[in-house]
Amino acid sequence: MFLTDYIATFGRYLQLMWRVLAIPERWRMFGREYIKEMANLGVDSIGIVMLISFFIGAVICIQIKLNIASPWMPAWTTGYTTREIMLLEFSSSIMCLILAGKVGSNIASEIGTMKVTQQIDALEIMGVNSASFVILPKILGLITMIPFLVIFSAAMGFIGAYATSFVGIINFDDITAGLQHEFNQWYVWMSLIKSLFFAFIISSVAAFYGYTVEGGSFDVGKASTNAVVSSSILILFSDIFLTKILS
């Protein structure tokens, strides 16, 4: 029963995506919506991403210094480990889990409200492909903005790590040495590639839950929660496969 429900839901998701990935009817209108969504989903998330990344970068640095570093290990270990954690996991996967909460619930509740207040029906009556008009700019908007969020997140994590040197926890030069030690450029690309997949998962799954809402405000809230839970689980699962494939 559970399996058939899951397959049926996945089938409906694919059907919706088939409608979403249509050529826009009016490029002028699509462009307007696309820019709006980049601002709404991407630019408006910069603040929270930078704030969280700064503190996580600082905390990772402090924890490693206090719990792992020893006289037997090189002084650059703390900076090096902080860099690897930020680049390989935090700035892509964990940051996207955070965005699944912020952006995912936003998309699901916005589209869900449009559905229950018949705004989606109004689009259909006008002869507009509502799925494509409403969802496609959100998916492409988030995919466009996510690499910038990943870069901002990593950069703020490093700044957070540096900030700990100002409170005397670690030496500034040791962090610099650690951040520069055996730097592998591919890790940055890996982080960016993973984030693109996660951005698609967040926006499309949230849009699916919003678009298929039936009922009222209670159901919109439920759809919003389901969107966050489902996209978080999918991000975690796909993280394993993507890490394996890209490493």
Partner 1 sequence: MIELRDIHKSFDGRAVLKGIDAVFEDGKTNLIIGQSGSGKTVLMKNIVGLYIPSSGQVLYDGRDINDMTKKEKALIHREMGMIFQAAALFDSMSVLENVMFPLDMFSDMNEADRIKRAKYCLSRVNLDGTESKFPGELSGGMQKRAAIARAIALNPKYLFCDEPNSGLDPKTSIVIDQLIHSITAEYKMTTVVNTHDMNSVMGIGEKIIFLAGGKKEWEGTKDDIMSSTNETLNSFIFASDLFRKVKEANK
CB of 202 to partner 1, least distance (A): 20
d(CA 144, CA 158): 23
Task: Compare residues 125 and 246 and give the one whose CB is closer to partner 1.
Answer: 125
CB of 138 to partner 1, least distance (A): 12
d(CA 7, CA 163): 49
CB of 76 to partner 1, least distance (A): 50
Task: Compare residues 51 and 122 and give the one whose CB is closer to partner 1.
Answer: 122
Buried-state track 203-229, b at ≥16 Cβ within 10 A, e below 16: bbbbbbbbbbbeeeeeebeebbebbbe
CB of 137 to partner 1, least distance (A): 12
d(CA 51, CA 55): 7
Distances (CA, A) of 187 to 6, 76, 78, 83, 123: 34, 19, 18, 10, 43
CB of 143 to partner 1, least distance (A): 21
Q: The tokens 């700044």 sit on which residue?
A: 159
Structure tokens of 148? 């910038």
In degrees, rounded to 5, the angle at the alpha carbon of residue 59 between the alpha carbons of residues 53 and 64 is 125
Interacting residues with partner 1 (CB under 8 A): 25-26, 28-29, 113-114, 117-119, 121-122, 124-128
Task: Compare residues 29 and 73 and give the one whose CB is closer to partner 1.
Answer: 29
Collect all residues with Cβ–Cβ distance below 8 Å to 170 and sequence separation of at least 6.
61, 62, 65, 78, 79, 161, 164
CB of 101 to partner 1, least distance (A): 22
Task: Compare residues 25 and 173 and give the one whose CB is closer to partner 1.
Answer: 25
Task: Compare residues 1 and 126 and give the one whose CB is closer to partner 1.
Answer: 126
CB of 129 to partner 1, least distance (A): 8
Task: Compare residues 134 and 146 and give the one whose CB is closer to partner 1.
Answer: 134
What count of Cα atoms within 13 Å lies in the side-chain half-sphere of residue 118? 3
What stretches of 68-129 show up as alpha helix (H) in DSSP? Answer: 77-85, 95-99, 105-116, 119-125
Task: Compare residues 96 and 111 and give the one whose CB is closer to partner 1.
Answer: 111
Structure tokens of 56? 């996580």
Distances (CA, A) of 227 to 6, 28, 85, 91: 14, 30, 27, 21
